Amino acid sequence: MSARPAVRPVDAREAAAAVMGARSAAELFASDPAGTYRRLARLLHPDLSPGTAAAFARLASLWADHTKGTRVGRHRVGPPKHRGGTAMLYPADDDLVLKLPRDPGDNHLLRREAEALRTIAAEGDPRLLPYIPRLVASFRHRAGTRERQANVISRAPDGFVPLSVVRARLDPRDVAWIWRRLLVAVGIAHRAGLSHGAVLPRHVLIHPLDHGLILVDWCRAGDDPARDVEQLSALVAGLLDDPPRSMRAFVEGCRRRPPSDAWALLRELDDLLEELYGPRKYRPLEI
């Protein structure tokens, strides 16, 4: 089923009917919330349209409800913060994020993500779980005639940014910590019998100063660890700026014949980095 079209009244009468007939803020502002509000406010302003004071007041009340958040399950959520190819992300109370598929036909992807996160949380090393989002709840949410799978997950702490914002290639010493942490993130899943399935820049959140990393969006989780290493290696190759010859050969070898043991590969990478650069030294990453 397609998304509900934006409310587009042509005069004050139609605008008042739309506002007074809306059962909730979510219904009135289902599509293009800000544009819908501006259009309705312009048509219903009492200074311009006498007799619309009640509709204008209800519009203001519904907009206040929308901007302070609506309740989905047990969580109050605000306006969308990110529109992905598969899902919408909404900020939720208690420093969480609500994730809903844009199309109910993708409910199975959200269920797959929830199952993957549960498995990793149950079987992963607790010291390493900050590399993976934490699943707080997963449930079916009905709005009108549409039912969607909802996942409530932990929000990345302030300071994390998607790796996709990094447009320029980086010094290999800066890429090194991203590379290492990516291997840890997929390695956690591999030990639990899973793979991520879509190790792409937009799914990798990094903290440039604290050198933190979180691998998000587990909707494509599967059981092909070598595929994770192949994707991860392609990502790293795209970041490296003029790497040493031995590093270039290492990453290209991982792309051509990706191993399935991320932990063994991490040990090999550490040996290479020590040979090239000596003991690890902190370098703040400037983006």
pLDDT by residue (tens digit) across 191-243?
A: 999 999 999 999 999 999 999 999 999 999 999 999 999 999 999 999 999 99
C-beta separation of 4 from 43 below 8 A: no
Q: What is the pLDDT of residue 234?
A: 98
Residue 184 Cα distances to 3, 20, 118, 140, angstroms: 39, 54, 18, 32
- 118: three-class secondary structure by DSSP: helix
Q: What is the pLDDT of residue 7?
A: 66
Task: Name the residue among 12, 8, 10 with its Cα closest to residue 50.
Answer: 12
pLDDT at position 2 over 70 = no
What pTM, to 2 d.p., does this model score? 0.76
pLDDT by residue (tens digit) across 74-97?
A: 777 877 888 888 999 988 888 899
Distance CA 83, CA 81 (A): 7
pLDDT by residue (tens digit) across 19-41?
A: 999 988 878 887 677 788 889 99
pLDDT at position 244 over 80 = yes
Q: What is the pLDDT of residue 70?
A: 67
Q: What is the pLDDT of residue 49?
A: 86
Distance CA 119, CA 212 (A): 22
Task: Give me the domains of the chain, ranges plus CATH numbers.
Answer: 12-68 (no CATH), 75-154 (3.30.200.20), 161-277 (1.10.510.10)
Q: What is the pLDDT of residue 286?
A: 86
Residue 158 Cα distances to 27, 65, 86, 121, angstroms: 31, 26, 24, 22
pLDDT by residue (tens digit) across 144-199?
A: 778 999 999 999 999 999 999 998 999 999 999 999 999 999 999 999 999 999 99
pLDDT at position 3 over 60 = no
What mean pLDDT, rounded, does the chain reach?
A: 91
pLDDT at position 10 over 80 = no
